[in-house]
């Protein structure tokens, strides 16, 4: 029951202010994303069925690659599979292969590859079912 409530709350976050900001681009350099899986949610969590989808994207940063300040369309878990990713929000943290972390979607942050080798990250996100396009959205000014 608790897990179900948490998932419903996460999915609700995913629909906030998405469509108004979808067209704007976040500044980035040397970052490449490829959607690996995208499925509309169905199953026992009937409140979510057909309304949200789970998206898994592989994101690669070239050496020196970066993405500027942004939020995300929805909440998700990120897992570094190779390289070292420097993530900056209120503090700076370096994630290494095997490290995973949670992003709520509504916290401004940047990410950088400060090394001479590529960084690869798997991003697992909940987004509205009708959403298309990238999930990084500019920070409102």
3-state secondary structure of 13: helix
pTM, 2 dp: 0.82
d(CA 55, CA 53): 6
Q: What tens-digit pLDDT sequence spans the chain (141 residues)?
A: 544 554 555 555 444 444 444 557 899 999 999 999 999 999 999 999 999 999 999 999 999 999 999 999 999 999 999 999 999 999 999 999 999 999 999 999 999 999 999 999 999 999 999 999 889 998 877
Which single residue is written with the structure tokens 């979607």? Answer: 105
Closest CA to 122 of 72, 70, 60, 63: 60
What domains, with CATH codes, occur in the chain?
2-138 (2.60.120.10)
d(CA 81, CA 103): 17
Is there a contact between 108 and 38 (Cβ–Cβ < 8 Å)?
no
């Amino acid at each position: 029951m608790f897990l179900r409530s948490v998932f419903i709350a996460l999915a609700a976050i995913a629909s906030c202010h998405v469509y108004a900001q979808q067209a704007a681009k976040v500044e980035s350099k040397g970052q490449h994303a490829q959607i690996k899986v995208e499925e509309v949610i169905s199953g026992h969590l009937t409140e979510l069925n057909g309304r949200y989808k789970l998206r898994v994207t592989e994101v690669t940063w070239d050496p020196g690659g970066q993405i500027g300040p942004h939020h995300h369309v929805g909440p998700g878990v990120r897992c570094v599979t190779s390289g070292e990713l420097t993530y900056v929000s209120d503090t700076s943290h370096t994630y290494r292969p095997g490290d995973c972390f949670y992003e709520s979607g509504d916290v401004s942050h940047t990410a950088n590859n400060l090394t001479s080798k590529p960084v690869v990250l798997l991003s697992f996100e909940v987004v509205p079912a009708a959403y298309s396009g990238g999930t990084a959205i500019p920070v409102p000014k």
